[in-house]
Amino acid sequence: MGQLPYGADLLESLTHIVQKENIRLGRISALGATTHAVVAYYDQDTKQYNPLEFKDGMEILNLHGNVSMRDGKPFVHIHILLGDAEGKVFGGHVMPGTKLFACEISIDEIGGEELARAHDERTGLYLWRTGYLA
């Protein structure tokens, strides 16, 4: 648990922490605010991320994600809900370029068999190749 620095890139900071601490499986949550945010919606037909950019300050209403392995390294996958000054809510997949005003994070490391990501042809996404639930 801790605070990320003002002006830090959210995705880069979390990736740095999990790789430095070698957290191979975990959960991430956070609250705070951004000065600039970039989130994306994944278009299932085109298999492309479509970014949305918010250049003004936004509240981080909820951030939730996970840590697993991709290409032999710890990989951060996070989604976010952002609120603007009028109470409108926007959300999506966190992309590089999301800069922080303030952010309190919690990373819960999970023991046990790690989950590794691999490219899934059907969806075009890098999904866990193990850990299927029936």
Chain segment 55-112, per-residue pLDDT in tens: 999 999 999 999 999 999 999 999 999 999 999 999 999 999 999 999 999 999 999 8
CB 67 within 8 A of CB 75: yes
- Domain ranges in the chain are 2-128
The pLDDT-based confidence of 113 (bands split at 50, 70, 90) is confident
Q: Judge contact between 29 and 80, C-beta under 8 A.
A: no
What pTM was estimated for this model as a whole? 0.91
- The DSSP string of 25-53 is SEEEEEEEEEEEEEEEEEETTTTEEEEEE
40-55 tens-digit pLDDT = 999 999 999 999 999 9
What fold does the segment set 2-128 form as a domain?
A: 60s Ribosomal Protein L30; Chain: A; (3.30.1330)
